[in-house]
Structures are given as structure tokens and as C-alpha cells.
Amino acid sequence: MKELNELIIECKELAFDLNFSRAKEWKKNNPAGVVVGYMPIYFPREILHAAGALPVGIFGGGDRKQIIKGDAYYQSYICHIPRSIIELALDKHTEHFDGYIFPSICDVIRNLSGTFKQQKIGKFVKYMDFPQNFLPEIGGVFYQQEMQHVLEYVKSINGKEVTSDDLNHSIELYNKNRKLIDFIYEIRQEYPWRLGIDDVYHIIRAGTVIPVEEHNEILEQVCAHIQNDIGEPQDKIKVVISGAFCEQPAIGLIRAIEEAGCYVVDDDYMLGSRMILGDIDSNTENPLEAIANSYIKQSQYSSSIYDVHNPKENRLANIVNMRGADGVIFASASFCDPSLLDAPIFQNAFDRMGIRYIAFQFSENINQFKVIKEQVGAFSDSIKLWEDEPVTVE
Amino acid sequence: MAKEAQKEKSMILQKEMVEGLFNQLATAKEDGKKVCYTFIPGNLSELIRTFDMLPVYPEINALQSAMRKKSGGYIKEAEKNAHSEDVCTYVKCDVGMMMKGNIGPTGQKIPEPDVLLLSYTGCFTFLKWFETLKREYPNAKVIMVHTPYQENAEITPEMTQYMVKQLKEEVIPQMEEVSGIKFDEEKLKAHLRLSKEAEDWITKIFDTTKHKPSPIDAYFAGVYYIGPINIGFRGTEQAVEYYKELYSEIQDRIKNGLGPITPEGEMKEEKYRLVVEGPPNWTSFREFWKIFYDMGAVIVASSYTKVGGVYDMGWRHDANRPLESLAEYCMNCYTNMNIPQRIDLLSKCIEDYDADGYVTNSIKSCNSFSAGQLGMMREIEDRLEVPVGFIESDLVDPRYFSYSNIKNRLESYFQMLAQRKSMEKETV
């Protein structure tokens, strides 16, 4: 078993490798392998794995890629992630990718799929239209058809016919992956000092660019390490981060929040890896139906899913309660429609419920966080110094 | 001082139709009429009428507020209540208007919704908008219709089937429940026949810009022409009558060799023919238009007039396939088309209407339109070697309309067009 520090260093390198070297190496060793990039928030990676493809998360260039061409594609009042994604593609960081998948999140990511088509980038470009109808016999069937299209694209490259056994096996691997990630969050809920949130972030993000089997091995070792009583507790409040599900904050900002006095006990940074709550049935004749039903019935709340029958403010309040958090930090990417349009819904509800929160905006390429750090520090102090009991949500 | 706008019979007809609708809305509750809030792109007008409901279009209220110079105050009201500066200003204007008593453009109160019918097309913000409204109107029933995006520039049978299933199994039963009226397919078909008729007329109207000079402006006047077909009158005799009258007035203009009517009278000389991408700015609509007509520029086609339905490629509502037809209509609105489709459609307009140039009005708070526009513009420039122009404004936030910036940019653009025209003349 590797040392925890060694694992973290490995994951740090993988998570922000904008050349996606592990995918390149994987393809070299698997001549029939197909590399498929997917954008945030969520994509059922199980189906790509079953089809002999390597799903690779593309979460933008962050603060590590200078944008030159991307600014010629996107106006200043559009969020940052599409310009860094197109920059990565045009600068050939992803030239070993065969296809690209754009899940339905917002108008910007949807139209980015059209720009990829227009620029003829990759062998296929798929806009994945997730159902907004939540009846298995209507929305679920449509979603299965969408997944089938992805499988057809991959088959047109590698000729592989996917069987139910292939899919069930892949589902099992991703069930295990989610379970291990959940375990990390469970440990952190009680002992957040054992593994910093920036380390958690690196570990989970690394899993989006390597085969799931390898990631599961890393996670198993991390889980073993953090069961030990390591690290020193500090006097910090516990918070949940919400709103950063697509464009990712720079790692310095993720770290700054904890440094400023807040243990992050839950977040939506890499929401896709934790989107499905619980296991997907991996012993079924119809695995696509099982994946579709899991999305319809077992998804985490998300700003891209129509929610009026299952209000997101109640779901986030439940997370706050379950994690024993003292408050919520709403971190929205600048110009992020889904996140910013949700802000009044959350904030009005939390005012009524008595849940404490602060809100700020960030951009993936900004690495000066002094003001945000002060704001977070003040939030932490206001709770630590002047309040005794955490709020109980009814 | 601005001159008084000329009014033709069709304009008066439209005014009467709109006023009539708002009058009906004002007394809807006393009259026992159910009120359905919905959106223009993908609006299911025929279905709403089949259930005798009255439609309210929040984005129309927003743009009307902007034209009446009220949107700025409404937006600030919403921003005080945690709405971001950087999101759709239609949403904030609507929320602000609601917070200020929901007084509509005719000065009458707009009733609360019985139904929020979200047949959103090509815009995720609509989804968030109704999530917001649902929290303000907890008693309203929300009916959701997911319209698949034309990601591969096509409407497949499975996309249509998905929508038809939603209409049959979710939308219609819930509308029956709210209205207390049983679904009558024959009634729907009758509306659809009239829709087709109106669609035929509006296509002929927008096609008249092939004439030189163009008898109409297909953007600034076009936004008025699309009014009846988009705001609940599609599927009625009234809409057909309006479009017949409008067409006849335009024919008279063609016979007399006349150009478009502007707020300051007839445009005397057509110097430039343009195609415009993107919605107009509503807060300074007349000033914005004036920059164009003062320079002799007429818009011969625009993408914005296709936002409530693309009819110029031949698609029509079809009474023989009522639900399939409604589904296809929703999927066939402009912003539900992918970027290459939008490029093809605009290129076709430039060629068909013999345009001299292509202008993008990029809207700060409308990503559905704006994301991808720069790439579209470059592709059109490369493909057709047509001069392209780019300006930025907003829908209904007066803070983002900078008259002098826009005027400067457009003047430079028109100089470029003039130079190019004189070079072409010399070559001939």
C-alpha cells in the first residue's frame, strides 16, 4: 500500500494534467480503445467503460491555461469554462480524443457542442439531452435512447457490440467508485482534519481522467489511511459548498476556504462523480434502464434538473442537517446562469429556515482570493465566536 | 421632438387584439377563466385555446415594461432580492414587476397563474424562471414539457414520440384537471388549421423583402408582425385576418415602390440591406432603430423573428397530426436549432434576400442566443464573404444600452459597407 502523501501527489499530477497524458498512454496500450471527453456536470461513464472507451472529464483549463483563442469565441459576459475548453481543443491538448460529450446543463455548454461540430473537432460530438420528464416510461425511455446513440458512436469507431454483462460489470465498478468516495465524505464529516478538502478534490478529480479500476485502487488505499486517527483537529466551523458544479474554482480557492476557518463537509465541486446516490442495479437484463432509472430516482439535486416536485432548497437543507454543518457557502462561477438563477431560491428559503450562508462568485482563472478569504473568515468567526449551537433544520 | 408614428389598419387591428387579451385577463378571475403562464418559444397556443385558457407571456410583459421605461426599476427591485446582476434581465424584470403588483402594459393587474406551462424551447433560463415563479405562486399547477434539442440538425421520430407521450400522458390530463374541460381533438384541429393559414401568410410577408426596395423592415417592424402569431392568437381567425390585412398593405407598398414605414414615416432611400442575428434592445428600441434607418439600412431578415417558430423552411402545423405537429413546432423554434443549423439558415437568408451585410446584436443576458455568435459570424464571413458587424446591448436592462458606443460601431460598419459598394460599382 502506498503512503497517503504519495497517493495525493499522484492524484495532484493527474487531476490537473491538461495534456491528459494517462488517456494518451491508455490509448497507446489499447489500440482499439476509444477516448471520449465529457463536460460537466454528469455523464453515465458506465456505458463508455462497457463499450471499451475511456471516459475523460474535461473541466476547463482553470488557472493553468492562458486563454487567447477562446476569447475570440466567447463574449466577456459569458462564463469562463467554454473559452478554456475550446482553447484546450484548438491547442491540441485533446487531439487523442475520439469524441466529445456535452451533457445538458445550460445554454452555453449546449451551444459549445455546436461550436465543436462547426469546428469539426473529434470523430463525434454528442449533446446529451438529459430528460426533464421524470417518469421512467417517458423520460426514462428517452434517456435510454440518448445513451444508445452514444454507444452507436463508439461502435462506429471500435466495432464493439455492448452486452448486458459488459454493462453490469461496468456498473459494479462505478458503484464501488461512488461508495468509496462516499466513505471519504463520511469520514470527513466526523474528522475533516484527516484529509484536506483540496486533497479530496485532487483525489476525486484524478478519477475522471484515469480508468475506473485504477481509481478504485487509489480510493481503497486512501480510505484505509483515513480510517486511522491522523491529523490534528482545528477550531473551524463546518460548511457545505453549493453552486460550483460546472466551472471549477482554482485549487487555491478551494484550499483558502478551509484555511479561512471552514471545514468543507460536503460540496458539489465534482458533482458528476457523486451524482447518483446509492447503487445502480448491476444484476439486470436491461442495464440501460437501470442507469436511466437511477438518474430519475436517485440523483443528487442539481441546478440543471427541473425540481419543482422535489425542491432543491429542502434537499440542500437536508444535506446541511445530515452533515451537521454550521452553514452554507454559495460559490457560483461568474455568469453561471443555473447557479446564479438558483441563488434567490436558496437564499430566500434559508432566510426562512434560519440556515446561515454567504455567497460569492469566482472564475476558474482567478487565483487571487484575498477578499473571498476575508469574507469566509468573517463568516466562520461570526459563527464560532457568537453562536453556541448549530442550527437544526426542521 | 420625435414625430408621431404612422398607423396603418393592421397596426390598429393588432392593438385591438392585444388590448382585448389584456382586458380579458383583467377580468379572468370574475369570468371564471383559467390563466396559463407560458413562453413564446415553443408556445402551445392551440392547446391553451382548446382548454379555453388565457395565456400570459412573462417575456412579453418584460419587453413591454422596457418599452414603457419601467424595466430598470423592476430589475433593481429583483436585484435587491438576491437576483444576480449577470442573469437574464427578462426574469428580473418579470420578478420585479410581480413584486410591484404585477401591473401589465395596459395598466391593469395581470392575474395570478392557474397553470405554469413550461414547454421551454432552446433556453434553460425558462426552466429556472418557472422554478422561481412556482415558489411565488405555490397554488399554480406546473406542467412541464421537455423539448429535445436539435443537436444533429434534425427532428427524429423518437424525439417526436417523446414529446407526444408527454403531451398525451402529462400535459393534456393536467390541463383537463385545471380547466375542468375535456380534451376535444376536433377543436384542437380547427385551431391548427387556422395556425397553418397564419403561418402561410407570415411566410409570404417576410418573403416580400426580396423586393427592392424592401417594403418592410424584417427586424424592427418584424417584431410587431410576429406579435399576433406568438402571443396567443395563432390558431384564431383574428390572426389570419390580421396577416391578410398586413399582406395587402405590403402589396400596396410594393406596387408603389415604397420602402418600410419607420416611426418617422417612410424610409426614403434603401442604401443597405442587412440580416440581423439576435434579439433587439427594448429599452431604447426607437433610438436603436433610428440609427439604422437614418443610415438607409433596412433589415431584410432576422433570426429573432423566428424565435417563436421557423416557418420559412416550409414547416407548418398540421391538423392531420395534431400532437405530432405541436411537438415538431416546439422543436423547430430558432434557438432550439444547433449552431451549424443557425449558420445555414442565416446564410440562406443573406443569399435569398440579397443582403449586403450581416450584423450581430449580442445580448448580454441571453446566452441562448449569444453563446456561439462570434463563431457563427466568422463562419458566415468566410463562407459568403459578406461584411459582418458586431454590437452589444441587452434585452431590458437600460444600464447596458450605450447609445454612443453602438452608434460609433454601426457608423464605422456602414462606412465599410459604403466603401465596398463603391468598389463593386467600379469593378462593374
Q: For chain A, what percent of residues have pLDDT higher than 70?
A: 98
Tell the residue number behind the cell numbers 454528469, with chain if given.
A42
Closest CA to B149 of A106, A204, A218: A106
A110 touches chain B (CB under 8 A): yes
Strands B265-266 and B261-262: antiparallel
CATH number of B259-427: 3.40.50.11900
Contact: B367, A72; criterion CB under 8 Å: no
Of all residues in chain A, the one with the smallest CA distance to B160 is: A142
- Cα gap A353→B45, rounded to integer Å: 39
B158 in reach of chain A (CB within 8 A): yes
Q: Could you tell me which of A110, A121, A106, A122 has the C-alpha nearest to residue A34? A: A122
Closest CA to A342 of A244, A211, A237: A244
End-to-end CA gap in chain A: 44
**Closest-CA residue in chain B for A306?**
B127
**B231 and B189 Cβ atoms separated by less than 8 Å:** no
Residues 337-376 of A with CB under 8 A from B: 337-338, 340-345, 347-348
CA-closest candidate to residue A390, choices A199, A183, A189, A226? A189
Q: Test A110 with B149 for CB contact under 8 angstroms.
A: yes
Stated as kind and residue range, the H or E segment containing B377 is helix B373-384
Which of B155, B339, B342, B360 is the best residue to mutate to test the A interface, defined by the most A CB atoms within 10 Å of its own CB? B339
The residue among B364 and B422 whose pLDDT is bigger is: B364
A29–chain B Cβ distance below 8 A for any pair: no
The whole-angstrom distance between B357's CA and the closest CA on chain A is 20
CA distances B194 to B13, B45, B47, B235, Å, are 18, 12, 13, 5
What pLDDT score does A310 carry?
A: 87
Query: How far is the alpha carbon of B369 from chain A, nearest alpha carbon, in Å?
Result: 8
Asked whether the domain spanning B259-427 has the same topology as the one spanning B24-181, the reply is: yes
Question: Which of B225, B218, B215, B222 has its CA nearest to residue B255?
Answer: B215
Q: If we measure between CA atoms, which residue out of A390, A268, A251 comes closest to residue A329?
A: A268
In B209-263, the DSSP E strands lie at 261-262
Q: What is the pLDDT of residue B273?
A: 98
Nearest CA in chain B to A129: B148
Whether B7 shows a pLDDT value over 80: the answer reads: no
State which amino acid sits at residue B197.
Answer: E
B130 touches chain A (CB under 8 A): yes
What are residue B390's phi and psi, to 5 degrees?
-140, 125
For residue A88, which phi and psi values (nearest 5 degrees)? Answer: -60, -45
Q: DSSP alpha helices (H): ranges in B27-152? A: 28-31, 45-50, 58-67, 71-80, 89-99, 124-136
Residue A2 contacts B, CB cutoff 8 Å: no
| Closest Cα in chain A to B84 | A340
pLDDT on residue A390? 54
Task: Output B2 or A106, whichever has higher pLDDT.
Answer: A106
From B156, which residue of chain A is nearest by alpha-carbon distance? A145
Residues of B in contact with A344 (CB under 8 A): 78, 81-83, 132
CATH topology of domain B24-181: Rossmann fold (3.40.50)
Parse chain B into domains and list their residue ranges.
24-181, 259-427
What pLDDT, on the 0 to 100 scale, is given for residue B4? 57
Domain spanning A20-160: which CATH class is it, in words? alpha beta
What is the model's pLDDT at position B190?
98
Q: Which of B124, B142, B372 sits opposite A106 (nearest CB)?
A: B124
Please provide the size of chain B in residues.
Answer: 428
> What are the CA-CA distances from residue A167 to residues A98, A114, A171, A210, B189 (Å)?
21, 29, 6, 18, 45
pLDDT more than 70, % of chain B: 98
- B427 pLDDT tier (thresholds 50, 70, 90): confident
pLDDT at B8: 84
* Number of CB atoms found within 10 A of residue A255's CB: 18
A247 touching B, CB under 8 A?
no
Please report the residues numbered 391 through 410 in chain B whose beta carbons come closer than 8 angstroms to any beta carbon of chain A: 392
User: Could you tell me the three cell numbers for A378?
Assistant: 468573517
The verdict on a CB contact (< 8 Å) between B371 and A112 is yes
Give me the tens of pLDDT residue by residue for chain A, a chain 394 residues long. 999 999 999 999 999 999 999 999 999 999 999 999 999 999 999 999 999 999 999 999 999 999 999 999 999 999 999 999 999 999 999 999 999 999 999 999 999 999 999 999 999 999 999 999 999 999 999 999 999 999 999 999 999 999 999 999 999 999 999 999 999 999 999 999 999 999 999 999 999 999 999 999 999 999 999 999 999 999 999 999 999 999 999 999 999 999 999 999 999 999 999 999 999 999 999 999 999 999 999 999 999 998 878 899 999 999 999 999 999 999 999 999 999 999 999 999 999 999 999 999 999 998 889 999 999 999 999 998 877 655 555 4
- Cβ atoms of B166 and B42 within 8 Å: the answer is no
Alpha-carbon distance of B302 to B274, in angstroms, equals 9
B173 contact A CB<8A: no
pLDDT category at B1 given cuts 50, 70, 90 is very low
pLDDT tens string B326-373 = 999 999 999 999 999 999 999 999 999 999 999 999 999 999 999 999
